């Protein structure tokens, strides 16, 4: 078009035919020249934009809808750096090493370390029925770098059996449920019982002669054992420990005789005959052990299902919560991870933060009624 326009407007005419252009033609030429100038300028701008896209960023501020999650969160008071995580994460486990919480935290920590290129370091802080480690997390900075691998008792039973130094509904940010852990009833073989019925009979014939262990006051182990006491009309004595491992050590040594705990912690000892496996503690039989009866089949009303979840302090930016939720689910669905955990009696089960929050509220209310009815108290 440029060549055609030039031929039309600027071609030379013979002197004898040349005459002054009319007003209309002068106006047409003026508009044509302006139009051509505008097109040339626009073409130059587009060439410059393509060569340097950053020019677009200086022309106007980006809208919130075009920001990445980290850019959005960077404007909040507790905003993460543009890349999260950019330093080590501390993963608090409120029991001694070796229990279900600890096993699972180390698996998650290792896999996320590989995924992120930043360390996720497990730090065991046992004590006070898991309240010590939970309180440490609740009072940590809400920056996404301190996590808790907590069992349900911290949130749904501990507040009912004693005073806790935190508000389970206000001081934590639920991230995701991570697992279901079947509990089982085992005894030291020296007492000579073979099933739940014979255990109840032994306890009634020998009042106060049996001691049961737990990982602390208000723990799932205590709750299940006291439910058994109440429903069966027996009086086993409670011996609290700072975690399942020292309790199992004393169970093997005969200093306590009964224990209801996570199956993954107890299977190795039941397989070699050092402990006697009597029953599952859940409402249903354990899928991997269909021939193992539940306690409730002999003593109705005794059922305990335990879940584990990841939590952060209240106030952590939602973008961090979402990232950690997604990446934990990502590593837990790896077939090798699921299989290895299943062999240890840990069933992978993830959730949204909202679903975990709802579970806490429902279980808190349900177990509150049970604890009140059975008069379970922290020692």
Residue 17 lies in a domain: no
For the entire predicted model, the pTM comes to: 0.67
Q: Give the structural domain span for 162.
A: 89-179+307-374
Same domain, 206 and 355: no
Report the CATH number at residue 280.
Answer: 3.40.190.10
Cα atoms in the Cβ-side hemisphere of radius 13 Å centred on 264? 20
Residue 193 lies in a domain: yes
pLDDT values of the chain reduced to their tens digit, one per residue, 379 residues: 443 333 444 444 444 444 445 544 454 455 444 545 544 444 444 444 444 444 334 333 333 333 333 333 333 455 545 589 999 999 999 988 988 889 999 999 999 999 999 999 999 999 888 999 999 999 999 999 999 999 998 999 999 988 999 999 999 999 999 999 999 999 999 999 999 999 999 999 998 899 999 987 777 888 899 889 989 999 999 999 888 889 999 999 999 999 999 898 899 999 999 999 999 999 899 988 899 999 999 999 898 989 999 999 999 999 999 999 999 999 999 999 999 998 888 899 999 999 999 999 999 998 898 888 777 776 5
Among 255, 276, 297, residue at a domain's last position: 297
**Contact (Cβ atoms closer than 8 angstroms) between residue 309 and residue 178:** yes
Same domain, 339 and 292: no
**Contact (Cβ atoms closer than 8 angstroms) between residue 101 and residue 126:** no
Report the CATH number at residue 328.
Answer: 3.40.190.150
Residue 4 lies in a domain: no
| 233 CB burial (10 A radius; 0-12, 13-18, 19+) | exposed
**Contact (Cβ atoms closer than 8 angstroms) between residue 304 and residue 260:** yes
Tokens 């934590």, residue located? 172
Same domain, 187 and 293: yes
Task: Tell me the per-residue pLDDT of 247-256, one tens digit each, with 9 for 90 and over.
Answer: 999 999 999 9
Residue 3 lies in a domain: no
Same domain, 234 and 163: no
- Domain count across the chain: 2
User: Alpha-carbon torsion 306, 252, 94, 215, what sign?
Assistant: positive
Q: Helices 100-116 and 263-271 meet at what angle, rounded to 10?
A: 110
Among 279, 297, 315, residue at a domain's last position: 297
- The DSSP code sequence of 302-329 is ----EEEEEEEETT--HHHHHHHHHHHH
Radius of gyration of the chain (CA): 34
Same domain, 219 and 279: yes
Q: Helices 263-271 and 244-253 meet at what angle, rounded to 10?
A: 20
Residue 24 lies in a domain: no
Euclidean distance between CA atoms 219 and 150, whole angstroms: 11
Residue 75 Ramachandran class (φ > 0 left, ψ -120 to 50 alpha, else beta): alpha
Among 237, 271, 297, residue at a domain's last position: 297
Residue 163 lies in a domain: yes
Residue 122 lies in a domain: yes
**Contact (Cβ atoms closer than 8 angstroms) between residue 63 and residue 302:** no
Same domain, 196 and 263: yes
Question: What separation in angstroms does the CA of 248 have from each of 73, 138, 213?
Answer: 45, 29, 8
Euclidean distance between CA atoms 11 and 8, whole angstroms: 6
Residue 44 lies in a domain: no
Same domain, 172 and 227: no
Q: Read off the tokens for 45.
A: 């701008």
Same domain, 175 and 319: yes
Task: Tell me the per-residue pLDDT of 198-250, one tens digit each, with 9 for 90 and over.
Answer: 999 999 999 889 999 998 777 788 889 988 998 999 999 999 988 888 999 99
Same domain, 96 and 170: yes
Q: Read off the tokens for 69.
A: 């999650």
Same domain, 187 and 161: no
Euclidean distance between CA atoms 74 and 80, whole angstroms: 6
Question: What separation in angstroms does the CA of 278 have from each of 28, 232, 291?
Answer: 102, 15, 11
Q: Read off the tokens for 276.
A: 């006697």
Same domain, 187 and 290: yes
**Contact (Cβ atoms closer than 8 angstroms) between residue 70 and residue 80:** yes
Same domain, 291 and 321: no
| Residue of 180, 149, 154 lying closest to 169 (CA atoms) | 154
**Per the omega criterion (within 30 degrees of 0), is the bond before 279 cis?**
no
């Amino acid at each position: 078009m440029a060549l055609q326009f030039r031929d039309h407007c600027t071609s030379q005419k013979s002197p004898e035919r040349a005459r002054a252009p009319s007003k209309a033609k002068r106006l047409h030429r003026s508009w044509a020249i302006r139009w051509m100038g505008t097109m040339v300028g626009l073409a130059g701008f587009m060439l410059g934009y393509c060569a340097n896209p950053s020019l677009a960023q200086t022309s106007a501020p980006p809208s919130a809808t075009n920001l990445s999650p980290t850019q959005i969160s960077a404007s909040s008071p507790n905003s993460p750096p543009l890349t999260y995580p950019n330093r080590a994460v501390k993963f608090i486990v409120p029991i001694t090493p070796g229990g279900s919480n600890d096993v699972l935290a180390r698996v998650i920590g290792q896999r996320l370390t590989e995924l992120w290129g930043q360390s996720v370091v497990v730090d065991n802080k046992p004590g006070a029925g898991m309240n010590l480690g939970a309180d440490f997390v609740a009072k940590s900075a809400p920056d996404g770098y301190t996590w808790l691998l907590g069992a349900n008792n911290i949130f749904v039973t501990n507040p009912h059996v004693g005073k806790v130094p935190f508000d389970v509904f206000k001081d934590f940010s639920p991230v995701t449920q991570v697992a279901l852990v079947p509990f089982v009833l085992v005894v030291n073989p020296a007492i000579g019982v073979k099933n739940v019925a014979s255990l109840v009979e032994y306890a009634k014939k020998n009042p106060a002669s049996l001691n049961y262990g737990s990982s602390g006051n208000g723990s799932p182990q205590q709750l299940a054992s006291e439910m058994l006491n109440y429903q069966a009309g027996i009086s086993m004595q409670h011996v609290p420990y700072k975690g399942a491992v020292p309790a199992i050590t004393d169970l093997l040594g005969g200093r306590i005789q009964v224990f209801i705990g996570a199956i993954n912690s107890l299977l190795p000892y039941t397989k070699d005959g050092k402990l006697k496996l009597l029953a599952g503690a859940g409402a249903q039989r354990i899928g991997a052990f269909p021939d193992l009866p539940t306690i409730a089949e002999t003593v109705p009303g005794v059922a305990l299902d335990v879940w584990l979840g990841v939590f952060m302090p209240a106030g952590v930016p939602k973008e961090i919560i979402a990232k950690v939720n997604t990446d934990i689910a990502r590593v837990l669905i790896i077939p090798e991870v699921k299989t290895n955990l299943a062999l240890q009696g840990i069933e992978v089960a993830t959730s949204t933060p909202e679903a975990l929050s709802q579970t806490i509220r429902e279980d808190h209310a349900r177990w509150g009624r049970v604890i009140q009815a059975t008069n379970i108290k922290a020692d």
